[in-house]
């Protein structure tokens, strides 16, 4: 069993039932998630030992959040409690040409007030096989940024592989630090980069296109700038409407380019967390398979998440391998 550590906010998702708008519904459902939480839950479902580091409110919502993670096998030994509230977001699920819409309520959340000096990363990362972070975490507060930077420094010292998903969310960076400088600094301390030309352009202000040739050029530019980045993995998506997407994935290992075949999702059950499913599938794949199979595993994991309600991907390894083997009919298994 491989040990993975994730670090990020546990956030509560609240939605009207089905595809209703909030104004027409008086019934709501909720899930707990968050980018890194989704990765943690999925990795646990795939048979890995996972410890999620975070902070939650010191009330029944915070207790429910950690219990939710525990239910799916994620350890919460290093989750702090705070008098600040748990972060929330509201989601209206779209359909056909109507897109889904999200409103966040996470300012001054428990996680944004996390105490970075109380995080003993030497202990947290003991016997760790992988550390994963995203650009959401350092965007939320200076303390979260400091905590992540400290974690990456310890991971580097311990030679722990680090996957970076440096998603840039402009509206989150409100505490004075330069977002792109911070994300560049943190990415430089990582070994696996999850992203493509769009993310690389955001970091460096470059203008690489999205075709294969530009993908390879952008990867080479990234690796020349950040020599510790060993491999780059990217997912591409074609959206025909809110319910019908096509996805495929590609990678560059410093020498070779590989890509998967396209998977078509003709009826999306839940779009949220599909990028996190790609990340968790990739991490599991790199821990257990060769690079090409890891890429296929990530792409199939992402595709299957579109069929799962809630933020996290709850499929198992057998289900993902079945898609890789070409079993796409969805016939009932008896």
Taking the C-alpha atoms of residue 265 and residue 262, their distance in angstroms, rounded to an integer, is 10
Tokens standing for 244?
A: 């019908």
Cα distance between residue 295 and residue 189, in whole Å = 22
When computed from its CA atoms, the radius of gyration of the chain, rounded to whole angstroms, is 19
Q: What does the pLDDT profile of the chain (334 residues) look like in tens digits? A: 899 999 999 999 999 998 899 999 889 999 999 999 999 999 999 999 999 999 999 999 999 999 999 999 999 999 999 999 999 999 998 888 898 899 998 989 999 999 999 999 999 999 999 999 999 999 999 999 999 999 999 999 999 999 999 999 888 999 989 999 999 999 999 999 999 999 999 999 999 999 999 999 999 999 999 999 999 999 999 988 888 999 999 999 999 999 999 999 998 998 899 999 999 999 999 999 999 999 999 999 999 999 999 999 999 999 999 999 998 888 777 7
- Three-class SS state of 227: coil
- 3-state DSSP percent of the chain in helix, strand and coil, to 5: 40, 25, 35
**Measured distance CA(240)–CA(76) in Å, rounded:** 39
Distance CA 176, CA 180 (A): 12
Q: What is the pLDDT of residue 332?
A: 76
Segment (H or E) for 224:
helix 212-225
How high is the pLDDT of residue 128? 98
pTM equals 0.95
**Residue 330: its pLDDT value, please?**
83
């Amino acid at each position: 069993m491989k040990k993975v550590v994730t670090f990020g906010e546990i956030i509560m998702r609240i939605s009207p039932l089905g595809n209703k708008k909030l104004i027409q519904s008086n019934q709501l459902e909720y899930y707990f998630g968050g980018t890194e939480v989704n990765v943690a839950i999925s990795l646990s479902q795939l048979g890995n030992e996972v410890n999620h580091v975070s902070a939650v409110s010191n009330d029944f919502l915070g207790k429910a959040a950690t219990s939710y993670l525990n239910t799916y096998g994620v350890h919460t030994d290093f989750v702090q409690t705070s008098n600040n509230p748990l972060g929330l977001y509201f989601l209206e699920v779209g359909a056909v040409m109507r897109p889904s819409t999200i409103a966040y309520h996470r300012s001054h959340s428990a996680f944004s007030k996390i105490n970075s000096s109380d995080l003993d990363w030497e202990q947290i990362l003991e016997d760790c096989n992988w550390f994963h972070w995203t650009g959401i975490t350092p965007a939320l507060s200076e303390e979260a940024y400091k905590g992540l930077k400290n974690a990456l420094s310890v991971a580097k010292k311990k030679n722990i592989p680090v996957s970076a998903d440096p998603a840039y969310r402009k509206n989150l960076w409100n505490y004075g630090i330069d977002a792109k400088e911070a994300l560049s600094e943190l990415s430089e301390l990582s070994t696996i980069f999850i992203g493509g030309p769009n993310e690389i352009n955001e970091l460096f202000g470059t203008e690489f296109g999205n075709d294969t040739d530009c993908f390879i050029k952008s990867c080479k530019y990234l690796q020349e700038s950040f020599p510790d980045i060993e491999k780059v993995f990217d997912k591409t998506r074609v959206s025909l409407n809110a319910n019908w997407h096509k996805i495929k994935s590609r990678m560059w290992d410093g020498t070779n380019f590989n890509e998967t075949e396209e998977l078509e999702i003709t009826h999306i059950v839940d779009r949220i967390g599909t990028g996190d499913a790609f990340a968790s599938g990739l991490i599991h794949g790199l821990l257990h398979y060769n690079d090409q199979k890891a890429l296929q595993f990530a792409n199939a994991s992402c595709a299957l998440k579109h069929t799962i309600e809630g933020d996290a991907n709850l499929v198992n390894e057998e289900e993902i391998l079945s898609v890789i083997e070409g079993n796409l009919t969805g016939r009932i298994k008896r």
